[in-house]
Amino acid sequence: LGWTHEEVLTAIVSKYISSYKDLPVALYQIQTKFRNEARAKSGLLRGREFLMKDLYSFHASEEDLFTYYERVKGAYFNVFRRCGLDAIYTLSGGGDFTMQNTHEFQVLSEGGEDTVFYCSNLKCRYAENKEISQLKEGEKCPTCGAGEVARGNAIEVGNIFPLGTKYSEAFGLEYADENGAKKLVVMGSYGIGVSRLMATIVEMYHDDYGIMWPTPVAPFYIHLLDIGLQKEDGDMPSADAIYKNLLAWGKEVLYDDRIDKQAGEKFADADLIGLPLRIVVSKRT
């Protein structure tokens, strides 16, 4: 049961990298992960099983690693923005398996278990995780000097790690440079917990009746409800006909054509699922 894959990917890559011409290379590792989570709670936000998108990169130098690091940072910001989330790039502790501090993407939320200190200046947004931070709420930002430091609960939706040569040393992952000299490969690691990301979106987009999916990440765009007009009735188009037309137009449709459910049940289920657009078809609508 895998909980992280730095070792596995380093061992695999060592079979294929021998020269500087083989670098850089980046490999995705996407699968269900398992953690002996002592505080499993909050549904998908903190569970012992979750879907993870990992990315591991291998480089000839630290300079090349950090060039790629910035590319991943930008890509992750784009992902979270499209998901409707305002992620804050947050400095965090590196532990004993990275070459320096790491970075987290944190979303401010009352339901978050992390605590971050962040600059209130939207043009700055410098942030640190409470675990490493010496910042204090209300003081001036040490980076821009304009905004005040604020404190908030947050949910971590992604992270990036400059691993350096720790795993290269352990597995003998080396390459020959232009002069034939042997050097250690420099590594980076990057991750988004996909199931946790989905739970975070729901945490940020819901009301008292259920989910309110942002359009880019909704499982369907349209929820079509048939309320007693599944077949044609005179000039009135049937729910079936509307469904076929929507599919022909390339729309993603969830069609509730259940005949054993009353209108109230269908409306309640539609509120719970929370798709962006609802179309109700009945003899009066």
Closest CA to 223 of 205, 204, 239: 239
d(CA 71, CA 74): 5
Alpha helices per DSSP H over the chain: 6-13, 62-82, 166-171, 194-204, 239-248, 263-273
d(CA 20, CA 18): 7
d(CA 257, CA 243): 10
Write out pLDDT tens, residues 227-250.
975 555 556 678 899 999 999 999
d(CA 43, CA 23): 40
210 membership: H or E segment, kind and range: strand 210-211
- Amino acid identity of 95? G
State residue 32's pLDDT score. 87
d(CA 223, CA 211): 13
**β-strands 277-282, 222-227 pairing:** parallel
State residue 160's pLDDT score. 96
Closest CA to 240 of 263, 228, 249: 228
State residue 11's pLDDT score. 93
Name the pTM for this structure: 0.89
Close Cβ partners of 179 (under 8 Å, ≥ 6 residues apart): none
Provide the sign of the torsion angle of the four alpha carbons 271, 272, 275, 280, taken in this order: negative
Close Cβ partners of 249 (under 8 Å, ≥ 6 residues apart): none
DSSP, collapsed to helix, strand or coil, labels residue 160 as: strand
**β-strands 206-207, 87-92 pairing:** unpaired
Which stretches in the chain have pLDDT values below 70? 1, 40-42, 95-99, 229-236
